[in-house]
Structure 1
């Protein structure tokens, strides 16, 4: 049975690692339909791909780099997580932050993927107006003892809807990391946060959060 921390790690990485696996962009696709399709593809791939089931980081990173960016505004997600310090970062620092944060989430995901093969995601009715530029798509992940809340924030762009935040068990991913990132930057600067993220990724300890976020009881 997937424990709470493992499930949070899986969800945090799943929407990044497998935002799409078929490569067929559907720019006019409704946000709730998009999430349902991507969720189904995630679980189907887990069932079929042995390398993914084994948590192969190279395989997961390959899929991330090749497929996910059309459906995730990862720059915005990283900027929101870093908060007010984002504008102080140089373009090079911003790029490094995105790279290390992405790897942090993917490493967290890799160790838990083989535990969710029998889960399914049910998308709830969308509460939004046609002219809305940002929406929240709410879902339930079923297959364990109780359904688990898993929600997505999306923005409408000329290239379709983009995911920029995810809510697991009532905790938004951006908010979960923001305080620990701010603390690290406050003590050691932006380069200090980058170094801390790189250290966590290199050691394979990313499942505990870049700056020990889970120790704060928020994941």
Structure 2
């Protein structure tokens, strides 16, 4: 499941145009999906496993369009309230790095997936929205993929992705809760930092 989450999340959320932030959330998802699929289909280095290039792509195109603090707070759950401002900053930074590296690696696993966009109802003035899509994979059953977005200022930002009914951020919650129970907030920061170092050392 985590592999599938990584692949789909990475594939579908690379922004190819700053104008996407001015679009309605469903139109934005459609535009960014087509942008990223075009890039990945044409980039032989990414397809051949160049994770560094995939990371550069994600860092330059994705980061401004996510609310990583909210994502981290959702993943940490009730223990988020125990963290100091500095610990919250560290947690958000490490979780962001983990997601970027995990999903950048997943970009190199693209295998001709296509996307079906489902009708969305977003009214003027709505501050949150869910955009639903379906991923069609050759030789496999389609997978439901939903995006949870919130409006911050003039732009929409993603704070969760739900794959086949499973929330990306809350998928980490049990692991994070156990680590905090055993070693405190600093222990969770250390765990995330060590995981990121492992991904960095194994990067191609």
Query: Paired residue for 2:73, among 74, 79, 99?
Result: 79
CA separation of 1:199/1:147 partners in 2, compared to 1, >3 Å: closer, same or farther? same
Instruction: Report the equivalent of 2:162.
Output: 167
Q: CA offsets, 1:126-183, max 9 Å, x none?
A: 0333232111101001133221111100011213111110011210112111121111
- Structure 1 position 48, deviation (Å): 1.6
Segments of structure 2 that go 5 or more residues without pairing to the other structure are: none
Instruction: Report the equivalent of 2:36.
Output: 42
**How many angstroms apart in 2 are the aligned matches of 1:196 and 1:67?**
27
**How many residues align structurally?**
199
Instruction: Report the equivalent of 2:95.
Output: 101
Task: Give the conservation status (yes or no) of the 8 Å contact 1:55–1:110.
Answer: no
Task: Give the conservation status (yes or no) of the 8 Å contact 2:49–2:109.
Answer: no
SS of corresponding position for 2:150: strand
Query: Paired residue for 1:141, among 100, 111, 135?
Result: 135
Q: CA offsets, 1:19-71, max 9 Å, x none?
A: x133x234431110000111111211111223322343332332333222332
SS of corresponding position for 1:7: helix
TM-score by length of 1: 0.80
TM alignment of 1:1-219, pairs within 5 A:
5-15=2-12, 18=14, 20-22=15-17, 24-144=18-138, 145-204=140-199
TM-score by length of 2: 0.86
Segments of structure 1 that go 5 or more residues without pairing to the other structure are: 206-219
- Structure 1 position 5, deviation (Å): 4.8
- Structure 1 position 196, deviation (Å): 0.8
